[in-house]
A and B are shown apart, each in its own frame.
Chain A
Amino acid sequence: MLLALLALALIALVLAAPLIVSAIKRRRPARRRGAQDELEQLSLYDPGRERRAEQRARELLRSCVNEEEWSMYRDLGFIRVAGKHARRETDKSGAPAYAYLVYPHKPIVAYVPASGQLLSEYCVEFPDLAGTGGRHRLPASDDVLAKWMALTSDEDRVIRRANLHLVGRQHDPARVRRDLWRLAEWERRRGPRPGIHQKSR
C-alpha cells in the first residue's frame, strides 16, 4: 500500500515538474524587474523635495490667512477658525458659540471657546484625485490651508463630508486641552485684540 502511494507521488511529481520549472522562470525576471524599479525609485528620490514643498506651502498659507492666524500656526502648530452658526437666533453677541482647531494631518476639533468644552472630531482629508495610486498627501501647511479654505468658505459642506467622532478617537483630549491652555497663554502674552478669546482653565 505504502509502495503504491510512493509510486503515485513520484508520478505526480514528474508530471508537475514542467509546470514548476516554468513558474520559477516566470518569477525570476519579475523579481529582477522589481529590484530594478526599486533602484530607479531610490535614485530618483529627492530628499529635499518634501522640505521644499512644505516651505512653499508655509509661504502660501502665510499669504492667505491673517497675521494672527499665521502667528498662531507658527508658534502653536494649529489655527483656530470661528464657527459661523450662532447658538440661537438671539445670540448675536459677536463671539462665536463654537470654534475649530485646525491641525495638519489630524482631524479638526470643534470646541466651545467660552468654556473650553471639547465637542467633536471631524476627520477630513484631501486625497489625490489624479489616482496615481501612491500614498501621497498634501504638505502639512497645505493641509491646514485646505481645511481653512474649506471651513471659511463653506463650513457646512466640509462638515457634512467629514467623519464625525467624539474627541479621543485620533486626538488625545488631554493634549487638545493643553493646546487650548497654550492658546490662552499665547493670546494673553500678545495682549488684548479683537476676535475670539480662549478662556484659560
Chain B
Amino acid sequence: MKPGHGELLLAEGDPRVQEDEERLVEEFRRQLDEGMWAAVPVTNPGSGRREAQLVRDYTDIPVEAERVIFFPRASGG
C-alpha cells in the first residue's frame, strides 16, 4: 500500500523456484529497510476469525501464504 497510489504489485513469483525466491527475498528486505511493516492475512485456527500476522523476516512467512502486504508503519496522528 502506497500513500497516494493505493495497492501496487511489487514482486511475484513461486518461492519454490530459486530465482523467484531470491527476487522475493530481495524485495521483502528492501521494503522492510524502507521502514514498511509486512503482514499476511490468515485465519486463526482457534477462533476461525480472520486476522493479520506481522512478519519481520522472510522465513516467518507462512508456507501457505499467497501474498505479503506491506504498509507504512503506524505513527501517532
Interface residues of A (CB under 8 A from B): 49, 52-54, 56-57, 60, 63-66, 69, 107, 123-130, 132, 134, 136-139, 142, 145-150, 152-154, 157-158, 161-163, 195
Contact = CB atoms under 8 A, between A and B. Distances in A.
A125 B50 contact: no
Interface of B: 1-7, 34-37, 39, 41, 49-54, 69, 71-77
Pairs of residues from A and B, 7 with the lowest C-beta to C-beta distance, nearest first = A136-B4, A53-B6, A149-B52, A152-B51, A125-B77, A123-B77, A163-B76
B74 A124 contact: yes
A129 B70 CA distance: 12
Contacts of B50: 64-66, 69, 152
B75 A125 contact: yes
A148 B52 contact: yes
Given A64-B69, A128-B72, A152-B51, 13 more contacts: A54-B6, A66-B49, A69-B50, A125-B76, A126-B3, A129-B36, A130-B2, A136-B3, A138-B2, A138-B3, A149-B41, A150-B52, A163-B77
Nearest to A136: B4
A53 B6 CA distance: 5
Given A56-B6, A57-B6, A64 B41 contact: yes
Listed residue (B5, B54, B72, B74) with the most chain A CB atoms within 10 angstroms of its CB: B74
Contacts of A54: 6
A139 B69 CA distance: 15
A142 B2 CA distance: 9
Contacts of B51: 152-153
Contacts of A66: 49-50
Contact of B6 (A64, A130, A132, A138): A138
B4 A128 contact: yes
A149 B3 contact: no
A130 B75 CA distance: 15
A65 B34 CA distance: 26
Contact of A57 (B7, B49, B72): B7
B74 A146 contact: yes
A128 B77 CA distance: 13
